[in-house]
Structure 1
């Protein structure tokens, strides 16, 4: 079991409204989340649309866990467009959770919950395994050590159900980004691939506990029957990028 690290120094988040968008950040140059005020449930940043590409391999997940709330873009999208999924979001910073209403994050209910907890401890201690695990946890210095260690990625593998998918958002500018990807490969073996966003800012790493990635069927870039046309309009162009990347593996 990974050793529990000392509690990190939690920096209060800052919220600004700029040109029709609500932005959350910890330091002025680094934007953590962006919400379009006219379309609060839309995925405004490309990396978030890329992270949703797990739907190409499992269009009907029963349980989704997320580490990192930010402005709630991914939780809101999943809550609205995947109505049969149970969703748990783990956020260590109470200051971020306190902003949930400002970012139109749903209230907790029978299938949606936000937990104030350490994501590394969550995947180690929880017994109700997930089909999908989205890891998008950052502080003002980047990816916290407890969310990027070999022990953490090993615990993520164990936490997933057989056939489960982990999706991790990393920053390409992080000098340890390549090492983080290597650690994910160490935990998940050959069932790992990486996709870069258009402006070469984010690296989205997909890892599977199983063989879902071994073949990409023709239907992977067609709208799943369970997904609305509105959701598909947002995701389809990005899914094609992910599919093209997979063909180069």
Structure 2
């Protein structure tokens, strides 16, 4: 959803494809070693490093990987929102899931992923075209990790502001599972848009990881609490660094419990 600093000398992007569907315009552009998926004219939704489509460029997607500390080698992973597919590619390349199901509303996004953005052809990846709300309502207790990353051209999806939707997402977890939510921060508050609602649903012991792009990642366990053992997490991140090509330590350092975040006004 946001671009990090790729280069101080980025060349102008050229348009590879532009299509219009029932939800608006999709554009695929290319600049230097990267390809980008845009929703509309301005909303950069995804970034793919063409030499390695499993590379995660954005801080918020890298931070999402922290869920694998608590749920190593998950049997079933569900992604609500596919984007360009880099998160799915990374999970398949580095974390040995039994299977990944990605639910995407727009067929044109999936087509662009396969044609331009290096979306994996791994047989463990199962893509479902349709509404995330309907899918999650029909699949209780179906996954070990659930990543919620639903955005449209105008910004955050209405679903990511609804208590009933998040309650159903939580019910989709198996015992020991983890729900990962990509939210925007509410201005300079340091809290997510739906922060009050989420604390009413899940209490104030779940984990938050704010990132510089303005997103805040939320990690909610199926039950109990997630162990925030930063020493163990650093060792885990160091073991992954050579394979990933970047360190997850910055996101570990910023991890906190919701109760330790800034107070609501």
TM-score range, shorter chain: 0.7 to 0.9
CA distance in 2, matches of 1:157, 1:77: 23
Cα 1:226–1:125, aligned 2, differ >3 Å: closer, same or farther?
farther
CA distance in 1, matches of 2:248, 2:193: 30
CA distance in 1, matches of 2:57, 2:237: 21
Measured after TM superposition, the shift of residue 28 of structure 1 is: 2.9
Cα 1:218–1:174, aligned 2, differ >3 Å: closer, same or farther?
closer
Alignment correspondent of 1:163: 176
Measured after TM superposition, the shift of residue 241 of structure 1 is: 2.6
Pick from 240, 243, 246: which aligns with 1:230?
Answer: 243
Measured after TM superposition, the shift of residue 46 of structure 1 is: 0.9
Measured after TM superposition, the shift of residue 212 of structure 1 is: 3.7
Measured after TM superposition, the shift of residue 115 of structure 1 is: 0.6
More strand by proportion, 1 or 2?
Answer: 2
Pick from 80, 86, 104: which aligns with 2:99?
Answer: 86
Alignment correspondent of 2:127: 114
TM-superposition CA deviations, 1:191-214 (whole Å, max 9, x none): 422221124x21111211222425
CA distance in 1, matches of 2:234, 2:220: 19
CA distance in 2, matches of 1:193, 1:228: 22
Pick from 196, 207, 212: which aligns with 1:182?
Answer: 196
Cα 1:33–1:62, aligned 2, differ >3 Å: closer, same or farther?
same
Matches within 5 A, 1:89-168: 89-101=102-114, 102-107=116-121, 109=123, 111-127=124-140, 129-168=142-181
CA distance in 2, matches of 1:167, 1:74: 13
Higher normalized contact order (CA 8 Å, seq sep 6+, divided by chain length): 1
**Tell me, what secondary structure is at the counterpart of 2:65?**
helix
TM-superposition CA deviations, 1:168-201 (whole Å, max 9, x none): 11223679x74422222222223422221124x2
Structure 2 unaligned residues grouped into runs of 5+: 1-20, 261-265
Cα 1:30–1:224, aligned 2, differ >3 Å: closer, same or farther?
closer
Alignment correspondent of 2:211: 197
The 8 Å contact of residues 91 and 118 in structure 1, kept in 2 or not, is answered as yes
TM-superposition CA deviations, 1:60-112 (whole Å, max 9, x none): 22111000011111100001112243110000011111112211111262x21
TM-score normalised to structure 1 length: 0.84
TM-score normalised to structure 2 length: 0.79
Alpha carbon RMSD of aligned pairs, Å?
2.7
CA distance in 2, matches of 1:242, 1:64: 25
Alignment correspondent of 2:50: 37
